[in-house]
Amino acid sequence: MSRSYKVLALVGDGIAKEIVPEAINVLEAAQRIYGFDLELIGPYEFGAKYYVDHDMEVGWDPAITQELLHEVDCWFKGPVGLPEWVGRLPGPYLPINQRLDLDVYANIRPCRLRPGVDSVLAGRKAGDIDYIVLRENTEHMYVKIGGRLRRGGETELAVDNYIQTRKGCERIIRFGFELARSGDYKGRPGAPSDGVRRLTCSAKWGVCKGDDLFKAIFEELEPEYPDVEADYAWIDAWSYWAIMRPDYYDVVVMPNQYGDIMSDMSGAIQGSMGLAGSINAGDRHCYAEPTHGSAPDIAGRGIANPTSIILSVGMMLNWLGEKRRDERLKRAWKGIDRAVDKVLAERKVRTPDLKGTNSTRQFGDAVAKALSEIGS
């Protein structure tokens, strides 16, 4: 008898309350169509608003424990944080500090121009842009090794430390070569311009010591993957080339903070932040979340584009299918990917970020319906 998978759902702040239900909507449809069994735990609340509403004592539903985050097969979350509370909340921010605790070192952030979506880049059509920003997720500027010097109550100095380790570089670069080889999470394997499977190493070597190490390890590993073309671009130059010739790129691996920034730029390149899905993947754990934040400028109006979180949970199913050798889950990801394309290509139902007038709910329903039509 096939087992059921435990999947935890967490909500978050701002538009999370609107888009997470649509991820659940599509997951439920996928279960019916592809015949797998999910035990959905939650959705539980957490985030800045939860802190404020609970007298700043706790920022998450007590049902969310560290043990639960380790025990479930995978989980997904909406964005979290509200600008007016950044840096003002007490205590640990449990569900967003998991990249290190769960050691989910690979942040996979596809950038694909989908049918029916107009690019901000002139003359680009569906399929011309199809690359992945592969962001290292556990090192670099975000390890929080640093501090402040306060004298007489005034902060006079603030230090962040930029960390790269041999282990951290090696595993993300290997992950990148494997990703380029497999073509996973892409419309098609290889770069759109020439079909070449290509891994671009992007960082600021020659200036930052950690990036010298990143590049040196890339060069060491390159001969082990003769079927993947190795490519190099300084990160500042890459931000130029990504706009000038996005079709040249296939998978682009970069240290943590660069990946954070470049994946937001890639949100624009693919037409909207509302299309930008992602997973945080490790060898044992995975959780899905959109690339974007809580979008306070549009929250509460029911108009956010839920595609980002729908694609994120689809990618999460693929990761789980790979780990548990369950083809049904991998087919479900392909189905969700196609269902999103179908709805976008038809141009009948779309949210305001794509110049439409439909609601988050209407778009989620359209994807669930398209998934049923595509079938298993």
Note whether 353 binds ligand NAD by CB under 6 A. yes
Note whether 273 binds ligand NAD by CB under 6 A. yes
**Using an 8 Å Cβ cutoff, are 49 and 89 in contact?**
no
Report how far residue 363's alpha carbon sits from residue 93's, in angstroms, rounded to the nearest whole number: 31
Note whether 308 binds ligand NAD by CB under 6 A. yes
229 φ/ψ angles, rounded to the nearest 5 degrees: -75, 130
HEC profile for 39-76? EEEEEECECHHHHHHCCCCCCECCCCCHHHHHHCCEEE
Report how far residue 112's alpha carbon sits from residue 345's, in angstroms, rounded to the nearest whole number: 14
Write out the binding residues for ligand NAD, residues 1-20 only, by CB under 6 A. 15, 19
SS3 25: helix
Q: How far is the CB of 336 from ligand NAD (least distance, A)?
A: 16
Q: Which is nearer to ligand NAD, 261 or 374 (CB)?
A: 261
Report how far residue 279's alpha carbon sits from residue 289's, in angstroms, rounded to the nearest whole number: 6
Q: Which is nearer to ligand NAD, 86 or 159 (CB)?
A: 86
Note whether 294 binds ligand NAD by CB under 6 A. yes
How many Cβ atoms from other residues are within 10 Å of residue 61's Cβ?
Answer: 17
Note whether 79 binds ligand NAD by CB under 6 A. yes
Q: How far is the CB of 289 from ligand NAD (least distance, A)?
A: 5
Note whether 305 binds ligand NAD by CB under 6 A. yes
Q: Does residue 290 come out as left (phi exceeding 0), alpha (psi in the -120 to 50 range) or beta?
A: beta
Note whether 295 binds ligand NAD by CB under 6 A. yes
**Using an 8 Å Cβ cutoff, are 150 and 156 in contact?**
yes
Give which of 282, 266, 237, 228 is closest to 110, Cα–Cα. 266
Residues binding ligand NAD: number (CB under 6 A): 23
Give which of 340, 280, 283, 331 is closest to 306, Cα–Cα. 340
Note whether 356 binds ligand NAD by CB under 6 A. no
Note whether 83 binds ligand NAD by CB under 6 A. yes
Q: Which is nearer to ligand NAD, 217 or 273 (CB)?
A: 273
Report how far residue 167's alpha carbon sits from residue 170's, in angstroms, rounded to the nearest whole number: 5
Report how far residue 334's alpha carbon sits from residue 376's, in angstroms, rounded to the nearest whole number: 10
Among 130, 184, 250, 289, binds ligand NAD (CB under 6 A): 289
Type of residue at 308: S
Note whether 111 binds ligand NAD by CB under 6 A. no
**Using an 8 Å Cβ cutoff, are 101 and 125 in contact?**
no
**Going residue by residue from 18 to 37, which x/- string records binding to ligand NAD, judged by CB under 6 A?**
-x------------------
**Using an 8 Å Cβ cutoff, are 203 and 261 in contact?**
no
Give which of 80, 53, 19, 14 is closest to 313, Cα–Cα. 19
Residue with structure tokens 């430390």? 161
Q: How far is the CB of 306 from ligand NAD (least distance, A)?
A: 7
Note whether 262 binds ligand NAD by CB under 6 A. no
Q: How far is the CB of 98 from ligand NAD (least distance, A)?
A: 11
Q: Which is nearer to ligand NAD, 138 or 294 (CB)?
A: 294
Q: How far is the CB of 263 from ligand NAD (least distance, A)?
A: 10
Note whether 277 binds ligand NAD by CB under 6 A. no
Q: How far is the CB of 22 from ligand NAD (least distance, A)?
A: 10
Note whether 86 binds ligand NAD by CB under 6 A. yes
Among 8, 26, 27, 82, binds ligand NAD (CB under 6 A): 82
Using CB positions, name the residue nearest to ligand NAD: 293
Q: How far is the CB of 309 from ligand NAD (least distance, A)?
A: 8
Q: How far is the CB of 366 from ligand NAD (least distance, A)?
A: 15
Give which of 218, 262, 216 is closest to 243, Cα–Cα. 262
Residues within the interface to ligand NAD (CB under 6 A): 15, 19, 79-83, 86, 272-274, 289, 292-298, 304-305, 308, 353
